[in-house]
Amino acid sequence: MRAALLLKWPGMPNEIPPAPPSPATPCTGVCRLDDRGYCMGCRRTIEEIGRWRSMSEAERLHVMRHVLPARGQP
């Protein structure tokens, strides 16, 4: 069995830095639209789902804290 060769550049830290946090999302993996056009899993509209990655963190938090709760439970 061969040992793995690990390269270390001068000044390179010994530990790998943690990955940046994932953007907040209400997605539950249940991706079907109801008769009103809301996702049955997260209650977002198809437009909100499509724009989600381009929204700022503040916009996403507003939707999750205020808009989605006003739509009721999935």
Q: What is the DSSP string of 22-70?
A: PPP----S---B-TTSBBTTT--BHHHHHHGGGS-HHHHHHIIIIIHHH
Look at residue 69 in the predicted model and tell me its pLDDT: 94
Instruction: Give the predicted TM-score (pTM) of the model.
Output: 0.66
Q: pLDDT digits over 35-73, tens only?
A: 999 999 999 999 999 999 999 989 999 999 999 999 987
